[in-house]
Structure 1
Amino acid sequence: MGKDYWPAIAMVLVQLGFAGMNVVSKLALDAGMSPYVLTSYRNLIAAAFIAPLALIFERRSGMTMITKKVLLQIFFSSIFGATLNQVLYFVGLKTTTPTVACALSNTLPALTFIMAAALKMEAWRPNTPAGQAKVVGTVVCVGGSMIMPFYKGPLLKVWASPIHWRFAEHTSAAPAAAAGGHAAVLGDILIIGSCVAWAVWFIIQSKMSSEGFSAPYTSTTIMCLMAGVQCGGISAAMDRSVAVWKLGFDIRLYSVLYIGIVGSGIAFALMSWCIQVRGPLYVSMFSPLLLVVVAIVGWGILGEKIHVGSAIGSALIVAGLYMVLWGKGREEMDGPAFDDDEEAAMGAGLNKKQGTATTASNDRGAIISLPVIGPATTAPKHDATRNGNN
């Protein structure tokens, strides 16, 4: 039973990594680094980091599964999940604050749920408590994330951080003060656009899994290589100066190493695996935790103050997250029983067409259920999780 917790643990670690990425990337951008160069380095470093994992764990199966169709899907994954998502996010982050960027990123669960439900990849039974919990939980998560940037309230009396980083405070002070007006609004719009691209990536990954492709390290390596080339082309088109690519022993070098290894390499591999095991909505619903972690990191490292609005928003985010996870878990437990009852009723009314009725019931279940892929689509969830770990 302990293996059921590995996807949740993996996604919490991913959000912790993303929180650090928001801080160091914002500092690098404020220090004058080009967002296009930042994303290009990020993906190239990620590809170099993941490639050995692909050779170790997927050398026998990874490349044999790469067909023209899969390669095309990886190409679109690189466009939406890496290039568009990262370029839009970092360009937007340059003119807004990490807190607002994280808050707007929490529209991701709602976008993913809408897309997955529209494509019939996510189960939604509005007349059941589980279906209602997923909808209400999504609304609560998004609502909580909107409170934090737009309502501050009085300061909470908390102790001063013992690890306050003066360098980070001085580096980001001037650009944060200069950002505002139309530039800040444009930055917010770009952040939302990055969330749309991110949600599309979740759907593409789930589609690849449902068609039997289960080599996350190989696909992530290829995707990052493609994205690195794409971002490099965008950078060359926007700024032809070679000087923008230079890295010294400063925040620029540290930021590209961190976001390349942690923010892309480890995070993409873990998310690809979790999507195969639990589906796109499960993965996207952990994104609200990022805002909570960033608030804590901002207090601990940047010396930011914690307001009542942040505390209320964080509580709503966590509550909404658990509502959706409860609803999804309840549907996974009730789904097989529901399908068995429906199949039995159909079999009682159509004894002479039992095979046809059973096939129709299974087809309908495949449409409304989120795909969980292992070596075989009919494998139990524990087997799928175990094979995913291999």
Structure 2
Amino acid sequence: MGADLLPFLSMVLVQVGYAGMNIISKLALDSGMNPFVMVAYRQIFATIIIIPFAYFLEWKTMPKITKHILFQIFISSILGATLNQCLYFVGLKYSTPTIACALNNLLPAITFVMALPFGYYNLLNMETVGIKRKSGQAKVLGTSLCVGGAMLMSFYKGSLINIGESSIHWRYAENIRQRNSSNEENTFLGPLLIVASCIAWAGWFIVQTKMSKAFSAPYTSSALMCFMASIQCLVIGAFEEQHIKEWSLASNIRVIASIYCGAIGSALAFCLMSWCIQKRGPLYVSMFSPLMLVIVAVASWALLDEKIYVGTAVGSALIVVGLYAVLWGKDKEMDQQTSIDEMSLGEGMESAYKGEMELPVYSK
């Protein structure tokens, strides 16, 4: 019972942490904090927090860091940290936490599509589309639903869904939004940037999967990735925001958001997800993604007075259904591949056994 409960609670904690990160980050952005400044601070705090884990858990056992590995970590830092997070937080600035979380569920479908032309199926345990099999049809259908849901959320708002008023509005959040009323939502630009961040994240997943085969030290690679991303984001932030006062963390919400994103959004989430992947596999971890959408939607309505529209609700539902269709197809495909591997292994052992029995006859 405990062996099943602990991974479940860990993944629920990760999704709650990510949900809190979206809401707190949105408040910091609404207060006027530059998203590039926030990302730079996130990478700095994440680096500081992950380094002790890398030192105490992997320093004596990690493989040799070659120039090729460093180059792959550099590419990973550009895709998975700098591009992904800069695009995501700028998109969050012009969007809402609910829309951002819903579009984040596009990641499995985008990874599936990107793996096709680059030929990374053997790395991702997806050898072929297999359109004649149910698993292949589910992945194609799920990808189509995810893309359709994302387009619906980007281009259609619809009428307001009247679900009543919350009686527990966060007065602090209301004051921030009133003081910074110029931060208007952009129905098209915000979702578009978040989708672009998912594309960058999918590219990181492909590079990371290949790199992990030769360098199995996730904490060390993450620490190096965050360190490289810190430099990249500081350079980008310096060009984007040249006023020193805008880098100040004197505001409570800004320092809380920066530390929270680095500690919870990067360091803690990575450690827990890495542990759960080892215990239950990547598919188990992916299936908890829609939970963040539910938590953020409820919390945003209750605390931030976020309005829910028909386009957001229907698009979110399509993305969640599509996500589970892709994951179901991937799960079935992996089961089929496991069965094939077991059959091949059995035939190989049988051939080897016969070869040993026939060897004396051959030697004569």
Q: Shorter-chain TM-score: what band?
A: 0.7 to 0.9
Aligned position for 2:362? none
Identify the structure with bigger relative contact order (alpha carbons < 8 Å, sequence gap 6+): 2
Aligned equivalents of 1:98, 1:70: Cα separation in 2: 35
Q: Do the aligned partners of 1:289 and 1:317 also contact (CA within 8 Å) in 2?
A: no
2:322 to 320, 323, 327: 320
Residues 1:32 and 1:305: Cα distance change in structure 2 (over 3 Å): closer
Q: Do the aligned partners of 1:78 and 1:227 also contact (CA within 8 Å) in 2?
A: yes
Aligned residue identity for 1:324: V
Aligned equivalents of 2:322, 2:93: Cα separation in 1: 29
Aligned position for 1:171? 176
> TM-score scaled to structure 1, two decimals?
0.75
Aligned position for 2:221? 219
Aligned equivalents of 2:130, 2:285: Cα separation in 1: 20
2:199 to 196, 199, 202: 196
Aligned equivalents of 2:112, 2:5: Cα separation in 1: 22
Deviates more, 1:296-305 or 1:138-147: 138-147
Q: How does 1:251-266 map to 2 (within 5 A)?
A: 251-266=253-268
Aligned residue identity for 1:82: A
Correspondence 1:93 to 2:92: yes
Aligned residue identity for 2:31: A
Name the SS of the counterpart of 2:335 in structure 1: helix
Name the SS of the counterpart of 1:301 in structure 2: helix
Aligned residue identity for 2:107: L
Residues 1:284 and 1:196: Cα distance change in structure 2 (over 3 Å): farther
The Cα shift of 1:52 comes to: 1.9
Aligned position for 2:34? 34
Aligned equivalents of 1:98, 1:157: Cα separation in 2: 18
Aligned position for 2:250? 248
Aligned equivalents of 1:7, 1:317: Cα separation in 2: 25
Q: Do the aligned partners of 2:167 and 2:302 also contact (CA within 8 Å) in 1?
A: yes
The Cα shift of 1:196 comes to: 1.6
The Cα shift of 1:342 comes to: 6.9
Residues 1:177 and 1:233: Cα distance change in structure 2 (over 3 Å): closer
Aligned equivalents of 1:325, 1:299: Cα separation in 2: 29
Q: Do the aligned partners of 1:152 and 1:308 also contact (CA within 8 Å) in 2?
A: yes
Aligned equivalents of 1:274, 1:203: Cα separation in 2: 19
Aligned residue identity for 1:86: Q
- Residues 55-99 of structure 1 show CA distances to partners (whole Å, capped at 9, x for unaligned) of 33223223x443322222111111111111112222333333334
Residues 1:240 and 1:153: Cα distance change in structure 2 (over 3 Å): closer
Aligned equivalents of 1:108, 1:267: Cα separation in 2: 17
Aligned position for 2:161? 155
Q: How does 1:130-149 map to 2 (within 5 A)?
A: 130-147=135-152
The Cα shift of 1:288 comes to: 4.7
Q: Give 5+ residue unaligned stretches, structure 2.
A: 356-364
Aligned equivalents of 2:87, 2:315: Cα separation in 1: 25
Name the SS of the counterpart of 1:293 in structure 2: helix
Q: How does 1:1-390 map to 2 (within 5 A)?
A: 10-62=10-62, 64-118=63-117, 119-120=120-121, 121-122=123-124, 123=126, 124-147=129-152, 150-153=156-159, 155-157=161-163, 160-161=165-166, 163-172=168-177, 178-179=183-184, 185-211=188-214, 213-271=215-273, 287-307=289-309, 310-339=312-341
Q: Do the aligned partners of 2:160 and 2:307 also contact (CA within 8 Å) in 1?
A: no
Q: Do the aligned partners of 1:205 and 1:275 also contact (CA within 8 Å) in 2?
A: no
Aligned residue identity for 1:295: A
Name the SS of the counterpart of 1:248 in structure 2: coil
How many residues align? The count is 347
Aligned equivalents of 2:17, 2:160: Cα separation in 1: 30
